[in-house]
Amino acid sequence: MKIKVSFILNGLQVTVETEAHRRLLDLLRDDLNLTGTKEGCAIGECGACTVVMNKLAVNSCLVLAGQIDGAEIITIEGLMKNGALHSLQQKFIEKGAVQCGFCTPGMIMSAYALLLSNKNPDEEEIKEAIAGNLCRCTGYKQIIEAIADSEI
Amino acid sequence: MIPELEIIKPFSLEEAVDFLNDHPAEARIIAGGTDIIPGLMQGSKRFTGIKYLVDLQQIDELKEIIADSENITIGALLTFSQMINNDSLKNNFPLLVKSASTVGSVQIRNRATVAGNFINNAPCADSVPPLLVYNAKIKLLGVNGNYEMPLSDFLIKPYFTRLKTGEIVTQIILPKPKKEFIGDFYKLGRRRGVAISRITLAALIQIEDNKLGEIRLASGAVSPIGMRFFDLEQKYSGSVISDKLLKNISSDLGKEILKVTGLRWSSEYKVPVTQQAMYLLLERICSAHKQVK
């Protein structure tokens, strides 16, 4: 059975018709063509599908479409403003924090949620914020440096 | 794939209880969803036949924290992140907040609820041993109204509790321990982040002069479910503190766990590691007590 869901996505009000049991991840990727959000483990362990929901980092594989009515959701596509990359995106490039790139959107969204509540996080706080995001290429050092250098 | 189902969003507890009772076999409560959604995704037998998920997020009274002189009562929908950020919980129930901060990752803690942790009742539920040593009680609502139960009675065996069909856990009541109580929480996982516990221990001890008053000990992961050690607590209450005493308590704890689990392939290392971990925990508590004095 299809339901109507209205929410704010990257600053714009959207209404979609979908099934309640669809994952937010699938809604974003398949219905709304926002493929920046990645599917990794699909059980809430790898963080590749992280988006910011009501100012908090969440795994979009663990949120169902029937739960998001009225929510405010930001994906990696929502960070660029007026054609300019967000500071986090810019710093990830500068610091070489991207290799294969698969974890990057989730990593940046976790970092974005951190910066929303803490403008000057220390290294431990950064590590805690991205502990739920697995990267198998960079070894994390460059990612931590990029986040430390970013501003919101 | 997640099977086709509907999400029901009641505005009141009464509405939720009515719906659950009208659909006893097909409706299940969803709180944070961090157990149920991966369970559905993986086709877990525990979640088959569900046609309705009853999402309680619109019921604000389930998110309240109420403090009085004796208790802090938390709504069943409180997430681990909300718990970690609450000063009054941090001050009064530091073991619980410490365990909350070791659950999953930020993303999981932003969704997962404390009540969901013990209603799911996995052996490794991190917050259960601290809740048990704080003598947590829970409040339930069913068709016949509200009632309370100690958490230790509620938990039966892995993934089973006394929650009846059509009932909702609405609140967790945490009695504030007297100020002589001092304690700590220990977790061993395979890594620090996103780690499923292999051993969890909680100890809360009343120390008076050089003697142990009331002792409360609990384990998780290494026991089939989170559990207290009431016999052991009785046996050592009133003892004079010494290194030998702490070793004896820890040694007995290992033997008690072995009695519950039976001999397993992992017992050969898990029992001594658990004993040593408990010894270090008790030692840390006793030396922290000395420093406070």
What is the per-residue pLDDT across B226-241, written as a single tens digit (0 to 9) for each? 999 999 999 999 999 9
pLDDT of residue B129: 97
Range list for CATH 3.30.465.10 in chain B: 60-175
Residues B156 and B103: their CA atoms lie apart, in Å, by 22
Residues B170 and B123: their CA atoms lie apart, in Å, by 22
In B114-232, the DSSP E strands lie at 137-142, 145-150, 155-157, 160-161, 168-175, 181-188, 199-208, 211-220, 227-228
Looking at the structure, give the CATH architecture of the domain made up of residues B6-55: 2-Layer Sandwich (3.30)
Over chain B, what is the mean pLDDT?
Answer: 94
Residue B73, beta-bridge partner list: B66, B173
Hey, how many other C-beta atoms are within 10 angstroms of the C-beta on B41? Answer: 18
pLDDT in tens, B116-145: 999 999 999 999 999 999 999 999 999 889
Residue owning tokens 């008690």: B256
Q: CA-nearest residue of chain A to B31?
A: A67
Whether residue B264 has pLDDT greater than 90: no
Residues B205 and A34: their CA atoms lie apart, in Å, by 53
pLDDT in tens, B82-117: 999 999 999 999 999 999 999 999 999 999 999 999
Chain centroid offset of residue B37 CA: 20
Task: Decide if B104 and A58 are in contact by the 8 Å CB cutoff.
Answer: no
Most confident of A101-110, A134-143, B262-271: A101-110
Whether residue B76 has pLDDT greater than 80: yes
Residues B28 and B47: their CA atoms lie apart, in Å, by 9
Please report which confidence band the pLDDT of residue B62 belongs to, taking 50, 70 and 90 as the band edges.
Answer: very high
Q: Using an 8 Å Cβ cutoff, are A27 and A35 in contact?
A: no
CA gyration radius, chain B: 20
Whether residue B292 has pLDDT greater than 80: no
pLDDT of residue B209: 84
Checking DSSP bridges between strand B199-208 and strand B155-157, what pairing results, if any? unpaired
Q: Using an 8 Å Cβ cutoff, are B31 and B115 in contact?
A: yes
pLDDT of residue B293: 61
pLDDT of residue B193: 80
pLDDT of residue B196: 87
pLDDT in tens, B165-205: 999 999 999 999 998 899 999 999 888 788 888 999 999 99
Range list for CATH 1.10.150.120 in chain A: 87-149
Whether residue B56 has pLDDT greater than 90: yes
Task: Decide if A59 and B107 are in contact by the 8 Å CB cutoff.
Answer: yes
Over chain A, what is the mean pLDDT?
Answer: 97
Residues B158 and B227: their CA atoms lie apart, in Å, by 11
Range list for CATH 3.30.390.50 in chain B: 181-292
Fold of B60-175: 3.30.465
- Count how many residues are written for chain B: 293
pLDDT of residue A107: 98
Rounded alpha-carbon distances, angstroms, from residue A34 to A2, A22, A72, B86, B272: 21, 15, 16, 35, 51
Q: What is the mean pLDDT of residues B42-63?
A: 95
A-chain residues near B191 (CB < 8 A): none
CA gyration radius, chain A: 15
Name the DSSP letter for residue A81: B
pLDDT of residue B208: 87
Residues A5 and B17: their CA atoms lie apart, in Å, by 25
pLDDT in tens, A89-108: 999 999 999 999 999 999 99
Fold of B181-292: Enolase-like; domain 1 (3.30.390)
Q: Which amino acid is at B59?
A: I
Q: Which string of DSSP letters, residue by residue, matches A89-146?
A: HHHHHHTT--SS-SSHHHHHHHHHHHHHH-SS--HHHHHHHTTT---SSS-SHHHHHH
Q: Using an 8 Å Cβ cutoff, are B43 and B37 in contact?
A: no
| Interface residue of A2, A21, A124, A135 to substitute, partner B, most B CBs within 10 Å | A21
pLDDT of residue A67: 97
Range list for CATH 3.10.20.30 in chain A: 2-78
Instruction: Indicate the CATH number of A2-78 among 3.10.20.30, 3.60.20.10, 3.40.50.740, 1.10.3720.10.
Output: 3.10.20.30
Q: Which string of DSSP letters, residue by residue, matches B178-204?
A: PTTEEEEEEEE-SSSTT---SEEEEEE
Task: Decide if B38 and A42 are in contact by the 8 Å CB cutoff.
Answer: yes
Return the higher-pLDDT residue of A75 and B291: A75
Instruction: Indicate the CATH number of A87-149 among 1.10.150.120, 3.40.50.1110, 3.40.630.30, 3.30.70.3270.
Output: 1.10.150.120
Whether residue B32 has pLDDT greater than 90: yes
A-chain residues near B38 (CB < 8 A): 42-44, 62
Residues A18 and B290: their CA atoms lie apart, in Å, by 61
B-chain residues near A20 (CB < 8 A): 5-7, 53
Residue B169, beta-bridge partner list: B140
Residues A142 and A145: their CA atoms lie apart, in Å, by 5
Chain centroid offset of residue B246 CA: 24
pLDDT of residue A62: 98
Task: Decide if B7 and A64 are in contact by the 8 Å CB cutoff.
Answer: yes
